[in-house]
Structures are given as structure tokens and as C-alpha cells.
């Protein structure tokens, strides 16, 4: 007879056992969440949020850096890309908000006091940073974030496919449309810019010779050039030459690597994966100019580290940001060039990054320097969403571009009024 | 000679309870037991449901951008904004139509499955499990399977592979709204996920219908099949049907997961919750407008539910028997 069956497990015992287990679980939880395993560190606990990078080894690298820091216990939350923004914004309203997090410079975070002023840690090294990166993080002379990586985004093309179809690298949107038509065959589509096309929203504006907002923070995207560009994008969308419904979005090079398309819009981070899959049979070019008054453009995206101004350990978090993203140049170079390719925002590191000095990587850096546009800190998430609706409504759903832009204007003006009065 | 022997039959011992003194204190009290068992649930409900609803109501009268503890009272400004926002109002209209389609479809499918499974003589448990299993599947997981595997727009998507056998070109099921194939994807996913659960409710109701009713009907000459179903089964399922339709209606208006994951950032096929998420909550962090939209949606769901209850006689199931 088993010992268990002989036991007198009445409801009191069951209740006591359950309470004991709950208490033990609680105690265990108290000691667990430091991400270090050894229990070392000063006793200060910091939490950092990262979106899930697609390149293998990135999560391990971030955790390795955190573990190497000996003045605080740094825990990393690695959040699925699609959920990152919503989880970050929701958590920032609570006591469980991270002490530091990566995101893009946006003025509403400054105005609402969500991000801490990092001017004091950046000022001594400001001149070593890309000036545009500093400017895109500055409000009223204060710098609110430290750029970790710059991510230029442009078109990747298969050299052999273009040669076979007798197509030159496009420099205008019309040429891109013609190329897409010539490159479309039974199994391969000419062009892929993502299923929702949102990855080219910004470049379309710049390539049409416009800006998102002007210096007075007024609408500057509603121009004839942009309207023309939207009409052309609609034509492209309905041409049958665009890859639609791909299993992965445009930030992932799988569609290009698997031969589903001849040209794909993607970011420089994808270069190592593309090199592995296609060897040297590929090149890059910027988003072509939309009209004669426009100019080819590249979106210089990227990620920056911010400190939660309402966190419990603001000073400790700033210290960690300084240690990792300002002092630890070796880690910064590794982070920028050992997984996907990114451009280090620090000039001294970028100059030494040998992996970016040859081949398509060097070409990517050239496009970044020659055609690149950085984030406008006044262009907020709500405005971004409003302009995404323009693409959804007029390019994919055939709404009149003027009407779609008018609708966007109303939403953007509402935001501008609330932010700037 | 027979003798009648009176046996000494021991009188039954008095029930222990009658000799014992009544328990003192709360433990014997039915009221105490009621609160003991429902209390934790009610506390959870108050903290996680009612408090957020009240907070949301409060927020809807404030300008609450990037904060949930605002101090700028704006009256009905947020309501005005949401009710004049054609995307939000449009989503309410779209989803009234969607509910008008998906509710009867799911009702009919789950009832049909219940009737089929209930008639089975062999492997009934197996088929019941097969149809019920999708209920255990996450809406997100199912959406991703639908999006990336079955209705992927490329040549190796399951549906496109099948279509290619008949010489039909690839279809971008979700990326192109013209024609609106995305509804086919959404409806099939929703039916697959939901029908099994409501089937179980109908099976339970079917098993509660007294067999005598069918026997009496047979004696009276009713033909088995459609006639029996129409005059006996369906009326007997009225209470369950009403409850199922109510649940389906609420679920239709509260749809979020599969739409969010299947359609991503489109401006079509957005249920009110997704519209609220993009327009006012989430990334935009306009919790005042979002809360106003949530209150409007709640009022709409309540109104539709009450109307449906009045129309179908919710709660009158017993009297109707």
C-alpha cells in the first residue's frame, strides 16, 4: 500500500499544502528575476526592453552585455517585434515599466515626461556621434536618447535576374515599375515592398521632394509630388508585378533569398543573410525619385536607448546606458556588425568597422551618407499611423489620393495641435 | 402453531444532528458559505473587470494622452471625436453586418454538427473531441496558421496550391481588399475556432430532450427527420439557441485577435476593438478617446443584446416549453 493512500488528506491538509506551496512560490519568485544567475551586483535591479531582432545571436549578445555590468543586476525582456510598441507603451504607464528601453525618438515621449534627459552623459562625446543622430534626439537643446545603431533601408536586387531581363538599376519610380513588369515571370514577382507597403511610406515622401513636417512643425507631406507618387504606387499595386501575401514581411529577406521576388525593399541588417543565401548575386539601390523635382532617398532608421524618466532607478539606468552605449566601444561594434549589418552611430567606431568597408556593405554606407534621411522627432506614432492609412486607403483600396491625404491632415493636425498648441 | 413473536426492534438511533448542538459561528451559515465560495471570484471580478470599466468611464471625460491619471476635464469632447470619426463609426456598421452574418452561420454549423455527432452510434466521443479541439487553440496561433500556411498569397500556400491544379493564378488573400477575399479567411478561421464550443452546448441540450416526445410524435404520425426536427427538436432547443446567439453576438463585437493578426494595419475589416486600438489606444496613447470609444461600444453591445433578448425571449425558455 502506498504511503499516499494511507494519508489522511482532508480539506485542511490540502488547504495548508496549497498555502505552503503558494508561499514557497512567492519566495522563489523574489529571488529569481535578476537575469544573472549568480546573484552578484550591487543590489540595484534594472529592467531593459528590446524588440526581438531577427538575427541569430542578438538576444544572447544583449544578455551578455548586461551580465558583464557589475554595478546593477540588469534583466532583459526580449519582446516579439509585432507586440513591442504596444507592450512598451502600456507598461510605461505602470509601476512595472522598464528602467530603460529601445525605441525611436518621438517628441510625445519627451513632452509627457516618459524619457529622461541624457544630455549630461552624451555631451562629452557628442562630437563623435553622427550629427543627424544627435539632432533627431534633441528637443529644446536637450538630448533624450542614445543611438545604438543606424539602419539604412533600400532596395536589394538580384543582379543575374536584372541582366537576364535586360533591366538597368532603376533611378525613377517609373523605371522601377517597368523593371518590376519585366522581371515578373511565372514563379517570380518583380518587386516586394511588404504586404502592407508601409515600409516605403517615408521614402516615398522624400523621393517626391517633400518632408513630413517643416521647421515650424506644420504639415509638409501634402504636395503634388506625393500625390503623384501615391498614384504611381496604386498603379504598381494593381499591376500584378508586386509580390503580395508573402509569409514574411519586408524586414525579413526570406522572400528575396527564396527567389520569390527579384527586387525587395529591406534594411542593411539583412546583408549577411543575403550574402549567405545568394553569394555575390545581389546589389542595392535607393528608393527612386518619384518626380523630376524629387531625389532618390534612403530611410536611415535605427534604434536608440532611452531611460524611463518615471522609473525607480533613473540615475542607475543612465549609468548603465553610459557604460554600455558610450563607454563600451567593443560591444557597440560587435552589436552593429557581428549579427546583421548596421552602421555604428559613433564616427570613431564606424571608421574602424572593417566589415562595412567593402562590397555591398560599403555601398550601403555610401547610400546612407548620400541619400539618407533621419527620423523627425516631431513625427509621432499617431502621425505615422495616419500616413499608413493613406497607403492603405488610396494605394490598396483605390481612394482618391487627395481625399486620403486630407483625412490624414485632419489626424496629423489634431496631433500637432495637442503637441505644439 | 404459529406464534407471532413480537421482535424487539431497536428504535433507530436519533440522527446525530438532532442530538448535537447546532454549530456556532459562521461556518454553519449558508450566507458564510456563499461568500466563501463566491467571494474570491467577486473580488477578482471587481478588481479586474468593474474597476477598469469605471476607470475607463472616468477617463473618457478627460484628455488622457500618455497617461491614465489625467487632470484635464474635457466633458464629452472625446465622445464627439469618436462619434464623428468615420473610421470608428464605419467599424461599428461593418461589424453589425459581420455579426448579422457570422452569428446565424455559426449557430447553424454548430447545431448541424451537434445533430450529426449526437446521432452517431460509434466513435461519438472521438468526433465530439475532434470538433471541440479547435476551441482549445489560441486565436493568435490559428490566425498565423491561416495567414502563413493555408491562405498565404504565394504559390506554396495551401489554397493557392489547390487553385493552381485548376490553372488559377495565385490570390493575395489578405493583402488586396479588391475583391475582399479577406472575409473568407476571417470567417473560416472564426468558424473553425468557435463552432466546436457551441456544438457542445447544443449536444448537452439535445441530450436533455425527453425521448417520450419523439415517441409521442411518432405515434401521432410525425415523420422522423425534418418534421421532427422542426416541430420538436428546434423548439426544445430554444433556450440554448437564445444563449448561444447572445454569446455569439458579444463575441462578434469583441473580435480582436484574428483580425489584428490576419489583417495587420489595414483600414478595412477592422472590428471596433482593433479600430480603437489603432485610433486611440496602443501606440497613439490617447486613452481618453479610447475610453470614450469603449463606452460607446459597450452601450451598443448592451443595446443589441437587450434587443436580441427581447426579440428571442431570453430567460423565457422555461415558460415556452
Digit-coded pLDDT (tens) for B257-297:
999 999 878 889 889 999 998 888 777 889 999 999 999 99
By DSSP bridging, strand A100-103 and strand A138-139 are unpaired
Specify the pLDDT at position A34. 40
Average pLDDT over residues A389-417: 95
Q: Chain A contacts of B85, Cβ < 8 Å? A: none
Q: What percent of chain A has pLDDT over 70?
A: 90
Burial of A305 (0-12, 13-18, 19+ CB in 10 A): buried
Hey, which bits of A242-313 come out as E strands? 261-267, 283-285, 298-307
User: What's the whole-model pTM score?
Assistant: 0.83
Q: How far is CA A13 from the centre of its chain?
A: 54
Specify the pLDDT at position A148. 97
Q: Do B268 and A109 touch (CB under 8 A)?
A: no
pLDDT tens digit sequence for A290-333? 999 999 999 999 999 999 999 999 999 999 999 999 999 999 99
Specify the pLDDT at position B278. 85
Could you tell me if B170 lies within 8 Å of chain A, comparing CB atoms?
Answer: yes
Report residue B55's pLDDT band, with 50, 70 and 90 as the boundaries: very high
Dihedral-angle region of residue A161 (phi above 0 means left; psi in -120 to 50 means alpha; beta otherwise) = alpha
Of A114, A247, A385, the CB nearest to B66: A114
Q: Which of B181, B191, B205, B183 is nearest to B103 (CA)?
A: B191
Q: Considering only A224-228, B1-5, B167-171, which range has the smallest mean pLDDT? A: B1-5
Burial of B187 (0-12, 13-18, 19+ CB in 10 A): middle
Nearest-CA distance A60 → chain B (Å): 26
Q: What percent of chain B has pLDDT over 90?
A: 52
Please state, rounded to an integer, the average pLDDT across all residues of chain B. 86
Specify the pLDDT at position B5. 45
The Cα–Cα gap between B266 and A165 comes to 34
Of A187, A385, A392, the CB nearest to B155: A187
By DSSP bridging, strand A189-192 and strand A261-267 are parallel
Of B170, B176, B284, the CB nearest to A382: B284
Q: Which of A305, A325, A321, A304 is nearest to A313 (CA)?
A: A321
Spatial neighbors of B192 by CB under 8 A, at least 6 apart, are: B134, B142
On whether the CB atoms of residues A267 and A151 are closer than 8 A, the answer is: yes
Q: Is the pLDDT of residue B220 over 90?
A: no
The maximal CA–CA distance of chain A, rounded, in angstroms, is 91
Q: Residues B175, B181, B186, B189: is their CA dihedral positive or negative? A: negative
The answer for B 14-53 residues in CB contact with A (under 8 A) is none
pLDDT tens digit sequence for A123-142? 999 999 999 999 999 999 99
Q: Considering only A33-37, A70-74, A100-104, which range has the smallest mean pLDDT? A: A33-37
Nearest CA in chain B to A248: B148
Q: Do A245 and B284 touch (CB under 8 A)?
A: no
Q: Do B175 and A396 touch (CB under 8 A)?
A: yes
Q: Is the pLDDT of residue A1 over 80?
A: no
Report residue A44's pLDDT band, with 50, 70 and 90 as the boundaries: very high
Q: Which of A253, A291, A280 is nearest to A269 (CA)?
A: A253
Specify the pLDDT at position A317. 97
Please state, rounded to an integer, the average pLDDT across all residues of chain A. 90
Q: How many CB pairs under 8 A join A and B?
A: 89
Give start and end residues of each alpha helix (H) in A33-172.
Answer: 58-68, 81-92, 107-111, 119-122, 131-135, 159-165
Of B63, B172, B266, the CB nearest to A245: B172
Specify the pLDDT at position A2. 37
Q: What percent of chain B has pLDDT over 70?
A: 89
| Chosen from A191, A245, A393 to mutate, greatest number of chain B CBs within 10 A | A245
Which of the pair, B13 or A198, is modelled with greater confidence? A198
Nearest-CA distance A121 → chain B (Å): 26
The Cα–Cα gap between A364 and A409 comes to 33
Q: Chain B contacts of A86, Cβ < 8 Å? A: 277, 282-283
Check: complex ipTM more than 0.90: no
Q: Do A385 and B278 touch (CB under 8 A)?
A: yes
Q: Is the pLDDT of residue B158 over 50?
A: yes
DSSP A270: G
Q: Is B197 helix (H, G, I), strand (E, B) or coil?
A: helix
pLDDT tens digit sequence for B78-118? 999 999 999 999 999 888 889 999 999 999 999 999 999 99
Specify the pLDDT at position A305. 98
Nearest CA in chain A to B178: A397
Specify the pLDDT at position B314. 62
Q: Do A246 and B67 touch (CB under 8 A)?
A: no
Residue B286: CB atoms within 10 Å: 24
Report residue B23's pLDDT band, with 50, 70 and 90 as the boundaries: low
By DSSP bridging, strand A100-103 and strand A298-307 are antiparallel
Q: Is the pLDDT of residue A18 over 60?
A: no
Q: Is the pLDDT of residue B10 over 70?
A: no
First to last CA, chain B: 62
Could you give the C-alpha distances from A413 to A205, A226, A405, A406, in angstroms and in order? 18, 18, 12, 10
Average pLDDT over residues A143-156: 97
The Cα–Cα gap between A85 and A73 comes to 24
The Cα–Cα gap between B173 and A388 comes to 20
The Cα–Cα gap between B80 and B293 comes to 10
The Cα–Cα gap between B239 and A214 comes to 63
Average pLDDT over residues B142-149: 92
Amino acid at each position: 500500500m502506498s504511503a499516499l493512500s494511507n494519508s489522511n488528506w482532508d480539506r485542511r491538509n490540502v488547504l495548508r499544502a496549497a498555502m505552503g506551496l503558494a508561499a514557497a512560490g512567492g519566495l522563489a519568485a523574489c529571488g529569481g528575476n535578476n537575469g544573472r544567475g549568480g546573484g552578484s551586483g550591487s543590489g540595484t535591479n534594472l529592467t531593459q526592453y528590446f524588440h526581438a531582432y531577427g538575427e541569430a545571436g542578438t538576444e544572447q549578445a544583449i544578455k551578455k552585455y548586461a551580465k558583464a555590468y557589475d554595478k546593477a543586476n540588469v534583466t532583459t525582456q526580449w519582446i516579439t517585434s509585432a507586440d513591442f510598441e504596444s507592450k512598451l507603451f502600456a507598461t510605461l504607464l505602470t509601476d512595472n515599466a522598464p528602467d530603460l528601453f529601445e525605441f525611436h525618438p518621438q517628441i510625445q515621449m519627451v513632452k509627457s515626461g516618459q524619457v529622461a534627459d541624457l544630455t549630461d552623459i552624451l555631451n562629452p562625446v557628442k562630437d563623435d556621434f553622427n550629427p543627424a543622430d544627435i539632432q533627431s534626439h534633441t528637443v529644446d537643446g536637450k538630448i533624450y536618447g542614445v543611438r545604438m545603431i543606424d539602419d539604412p533601408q533600400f532596395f536589394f536586387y538580384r543582379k543575374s535576374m536584372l541582366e537576364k531581363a535586360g533591366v538597368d538599376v532603376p533611378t525613377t519610380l517609373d523605371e522601377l515599375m517597368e523593371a518590376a513588369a519585366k522581371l515578373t515571370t511565372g514563379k517570380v514577382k518583380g518587386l516586394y515592398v511588404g504586404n502592407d507597403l508601409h515600409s516605403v511610406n517615408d521614402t516615398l515622401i522624400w523621393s517626391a521632394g517633400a518632408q513630413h513636417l517643416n521647421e515650424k512643425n506644420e504639415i509638409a507631406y501634402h504636395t503634388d509630388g506625393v500625390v503623384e507618387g501615391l498614384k504611381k504606387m496604386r498603379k504598381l499595386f494593381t499591376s500584378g508585378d508586386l509580390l503580395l501575401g508573402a509569409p514574411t514581411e519586408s524586414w525579413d529577406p526570406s522572400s528575396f533569398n527564396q527567389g520569390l521576388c527579384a527586387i525587395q525593399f529591406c534594411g542593411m541588417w539583412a546583408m549577411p543573410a543575403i550574402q549567405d543565401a545568394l553569394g555575390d548575386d545581389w546589389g542595392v539601390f535607393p528608393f527612386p525619385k518619384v518626380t523630376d523635382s524629387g531625389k532618390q532617398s534612403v530611410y536611415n532608421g535605427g534604434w536608440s536607448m532611452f531611460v524611463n524618466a518615471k522609473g525607480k532607478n533613473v540615475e542607475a539606468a543612465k549609468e548603465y546606458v553610459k557604460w554600455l552605449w558610450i563607454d563600451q566601444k567593443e560591444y557597440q561594434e560587435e552589436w552593429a556588425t557581428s549579427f546583421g549589418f548596421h552602421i555604428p552611430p559613433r564616427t570613431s567606431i564606424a571608421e574602424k568597422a572593417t566589415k562595412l568597408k567593402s562590397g555591398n556593405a560599403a555601398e550601403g554606407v555610401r547610400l546612407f551618407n548620400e541619400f539618407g534621411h533621419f527620423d523627425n522627432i516631431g513625427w509621432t506614432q499617431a502621425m505615422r499611423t495616419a500616413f499608413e492609412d493613406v497607403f492603405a486607403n488610396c494605394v490598396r483600396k483605390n481612394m482618391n489620393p487627395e481625399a486620403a491625404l486630407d483625412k490624414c491632415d485632419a489626424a496629423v493636425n489634431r496631433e500637432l495641435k495637442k503637441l505644439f498648441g | 402453531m404459529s406464534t407471532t413473536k413480537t421482535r424487539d426492534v431497536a428504535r433507530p438511533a436519533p440522527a446525530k444532528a438532532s442530538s448535537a448542538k447546532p454549530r456556532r459561528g459562521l461556518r454553519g451559515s449558508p450566507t458564510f458559505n456563499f461568500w466563501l465560495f463566491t467571494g474570491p471570484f467577486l473580488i477578482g471580478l471587481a478588481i479586474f473587470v468593474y474597476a477598469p470599466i469605471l476607470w475607463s468611464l472616468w477617463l473618457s471625460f478627460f484628455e488622457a494622452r500618455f497617461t491614465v491619471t489625467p487632470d484635464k476635464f474635457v466633458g464629452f469632447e472625446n465622445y464627439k471625436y469618436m462619434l464623428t470619426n468615420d473610421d470608428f463609426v464605419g467599424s461599428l456598421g461593418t461589424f453589425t453586418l459581420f455579426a448579422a452574418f457570422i452569428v446565424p452561420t455559426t449557430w447553424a454549423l454548430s447545431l448541424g454538427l451537434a445533430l450529426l455527432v449526437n446521432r452517431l452510434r460509434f466513435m461519438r466521443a472521438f468526433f465530439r473531441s475532434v470538433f471541440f479541439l479547435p476551441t482549445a487553440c489560441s486565436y493568435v496561433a490559428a490566425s498565423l496558421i491561416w495567414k502563413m500556411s493555408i491562405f498565404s498569397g504565394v504559390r506554396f500556400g495551401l489554397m493557392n496550391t489547390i487553385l493552381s491544379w485548376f490553372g488559377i493564378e495565385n490570390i493575395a488573400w489578405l493583402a488586396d481588399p479588391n475583391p475582399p477575399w479577406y472575409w473568407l479567411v476571417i470567417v473560416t478561421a472564426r468558424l473553425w475556432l468557435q463552432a466546436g464550443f457551441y456544438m457542445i452546448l447544443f449536444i448537452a441540450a439535445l441530450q436533455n430532450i425527453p425521448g417520450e416526445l419523439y415517441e409521442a410524435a411518432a405515434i401521432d404520425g410525425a415523420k422522423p427527420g425534418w418534421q421532427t426536427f422542426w416541430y420538436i427538436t428546434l423548439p426544445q432547443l430554444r433556450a440554448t439557441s437564445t444563449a448561444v446567439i447572445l454569446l455569439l453576438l458579444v463575441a462578434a463585437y469583441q473580435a480582436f485577435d484574428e483580425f489584428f493578426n490576419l489583417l495587420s494595419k489595414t483600414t478595412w475589416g477592422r472590428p471596433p476593438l482593433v479600430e480603437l486600438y489603432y485610433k486611440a489606444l496602443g501606440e497613439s496613447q490617447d486613452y481618453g478617446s479610447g475610453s470614450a470609444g469603449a463606452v460607446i461600444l459597450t452601450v451598443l453591445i448592451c443595446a443589441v443584446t437587450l434587443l436580441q433578448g427581447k426579440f428571442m425571449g431570453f430567460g423565457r425558455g422555461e415558460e415556452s416549453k
